Amino acid sequence: MKLNGKIVLVTGASSGIGAATALAFAAEGARLLLAARRASKLAEVASRTLERGAASVHSIDLDVRHHHAVQTAIDDLPPEWAEIDVLINNAGLSRGLEKLYTGKTEDWDEMIDTNVKGLLYVSRAVIPGMVVRGRGHIVNLGSTAGDLPYPNGAVYCGSKAAVHAINDGLRQDLLGTPVRVTSVDPGTVETDFSLVRFRGDAGRAAKVYQGLTPLSAEDVADAIVWAVSRPDHVNIARITLTSVHQANSLLFHRES
């Protein structure tokens, strides 16, 4: 009942962790603001959240990389959707798996613009209202990659290390307000993440999960809802979760 009727904004809500998180909050009776670039897939998720129990849903066609578009989308929300209680900064991606000195600069731009700048743009647009209203919770999707870089992933890992620093700095900036800040940092999760990284190469993406049981998007969504549903005076600073087949971003146990 704690989340019933709360307005929850989820970015990158059209698939993967974002979609699973939307469905998990729907089951708690939340009101959902769903944002993503792929409007048709977002519409499918919105329909499923209503079936799952969402009090209501409002969808936004949004690319978080564009500052003006983000600010306009938040400023132009209907009055009944304007008072956002929970922000899930989930939009993010990885492109390529190459050595830094052979990497594609366009891939770097896409990762940094989405994973770092997009998170900042949405946060800047939403958090001032939380401070004024005296309530709110921001959940930033980090990664075990932000703790320990792995070969050929320096820029993606760097973007997630930036999320950790921004998350912790934001919590300090909000000290003295009731607004809470949490980083949820999963290890390997079986979603379209690897398919996006390898630009649709399904065979290469499948090898990422070969021989192990990864996390599911629902596992991560469960952790997010748990953190948000703690008592108002409790701030879960950071959650790191992996499957039992993963120790960190470098060390895996794969069954033969």
Q: What domains does the chain contain, in order, with CATH numbers?
A: 69-241 (3.40.50.720)
Catalytic annotation, pick one of 101, 121, 150, 156: 156
Scanning the chain, the segments in alpha helix (DSSP H) are: 16-26, 39-52, 67-75, 105-111, 119-133, 154-173, 193-197, 202-208, 217-228
**Is 193's pLDDT higher than 90?**
no
Q: pLDDT, tens digit, for every residue of 123-159?
A: 999 999 999 999 999 999 999 999 999 999 999 999 9
Strand partners, 57: 32
Question: From its phi and psi, is residue 128 left (phi > 0), alpha (psi between -120 and 50) or beta?
Answer: alpha
Q: How much is the pLDDT for 192?
A: 87
Is the pTM value of this prediction over 0.85? yes
209 in active site? no
Distance CA 184, CA 199 (A): 25
Q: pLDDT, tens digit, for every residue of 24-81?
A: 999 999 999 999 999 999 999 999 999 999 999 999 999 999 999 999 999 999 999 9
What is the average pLDDT value for the chain, to the nearest integer? 96
Q: How much is the pLDDT for 65?
A: 98
Using a pLDDT cut of 70, give the percent of the chain over it: 100
Q: How much is the pLDDT for 1?
A: 58
Using a pLDDT cut of 90, give the percent of the chain over it: 93
Per-residue tokens: 241? 């979760």
**Is 201's pLDDT higher than 90?**
no
Q: In what order do the strands lie in the sheet with 56-61?
A: 56-61, 31-36, 7-11, 86-89, 137-141, 180-186, 238-241
Distance CA 248, CA 251 (A): 5
Query: DSSP 3-state helix, strand, coil percentages of the chain (rounded to 5)?
Result: 45, 15, 40
Strand, helix or coil for residue 239? strand
Q: Are strands 86-89 and 238-241 parallel, antiparallel or unpaired?
A: unpaired
